[in-house]
Structure 1
Amino acid sequence: MQANDARTLLQCAVPTAAAGVVAVAVGFAVAGGKGAIGAVVGTLLALASMSLGLYMLQRTARQWPQVFQMMGLALYAVQCLVIVILLGILKGTTLFSFKSFAFSVLAATLVWVAAQLRAHLKMKILYVDPEAAADAKKPAPAESPS
């Protein structure tokens, strides 16, 4: 993992974990212990899904940059689909509060997306090679007459 990839992961995971702490507190206040457990599971699901997606996207960008945008869109769609499927499977669970779980997944996912947007906007990525630009400005050496 490159340094800017790790920085992006950190800039996304920390706010999401903070939102998860808030979700656990709200879940505990609203639904007791089962609400707190649901919020923990929901936050962990969102963190795992989004961090795995970021890792896959960065790996794809390094190996196949020509499919980066398509992979990003497909990956986001698959993440949403997996979360919806898990919500459907766990709808009738009695292990934890489903509402707390669902709202914490939603909140953590929205916080992750917002943090990732902010991280990419603040990232300084050169799109011009400064050394090549400096070489292009230098005049070509004149050929000596033979």
Structure 2
Amino acid sequence: MQSNDARIIRGAAIPTAAVGVLATAVGAGVAGVDGASGVAFGVLVAAAFFGGGLLSLGYVGRRWPDLFFGAAFLIYTTQMGILLVLLLLLRDASFLNGRAFAAGVLAGLATWLAGQVRAHLRLKTLYVEPERASVSAGDRS
């Protein structure tokens, strides 16, 4: 993993975890144990989906940079398909509150995206490769 990828993931995961703890406490206060488990699971699903997508895209970008946009589309559609299957499986789950789960997914999604945008804006990305140290200004002809 490149250091830029690690900074972006860290910049999104830390705020998402903090909001997840706060949202879980609110879910517990509003809907009890079912609400807390629903919110916590929702935030975890959002963080896992976005984190997994970023890790996958980082791998593809390093290994096959010419396939980056196609891979991004494939990863996104795969994530949405997995999310659909997960939502269908959890439709009648008695161990979590459905509204709390949805609130947790939305809270995790919004926080992850805000943290990722903030990390991208703070990241100093080189647009041009710097010259090697062995080539000095006087050696250029």
**Which band: TM-score by shorter chain?**
0.7 to 0.9
Give the aligned CA root-mean-square deviation in angstroms: 2.1
Q: Which has the higher contact order (CA 8 A, sep 6+)?
A: 2
Please state how far the C-alpha of 1:38 moved relative to its aligned partner.
0.9
Q: Which amino acid is 2:67 matched to?
A: V
**d(CA) in 1 for partners of 2:7 and 2:101?**
28
8 A Cα contact 1:87 1:102, kept in partner: no
Q: Which amino acid is 2:69 matched to?
A: Q
**d(CA) in 1 for partners of 2:70 and 2:136?**
34
**d(CA) in 2 for partners of 1:84 and 1:116?**
24
Q: TM-score, normalised by structure 1?
A: 0.83
Q: What secondary structure, in the 3-state scheme, does the structure 2 residue paired with 1:131 have?
A: coil
Give the corresponding residue for 2:40: 40
Give the corresponding residue for 1:11: 11
Give the corresponding residue for 2:60: 60
Q: 1:25-104 counterparts in 2 under 5 A?
A: 25-104=25-104
- Find the structure with the greater CA-based Rg: 1
Please state how far the C-alpha of 1:138 moved relative to its aligned partner.
6.9
Q: TM-score, normalised by structure 2?
A: 0.85
| Count, aligned residues | 139
Q: Which amino acid is 1:4 matched to?
A: N
Deviations 1:29-48 (A, max 9, x none): 21111100111111122222
Judging changes above 3 Å, is the alpha-carbon distance between structure 1 residues 115 and 24 closer, same or farther for their aligned structure 2 residues? same
Deviations 1:98-146 (A, max 9, x none): 11012101220222122212212221111112317x8799762xxxxxx
Question: Structure 2 unaligned runs (5+)?
Answer: none
**d(CA) in 2 for partners of 1:85 and 1:26?**
27
Give the corresponding residue for 2:115: 115
Q: Which amino acid is 1:11 matched to?
A: G
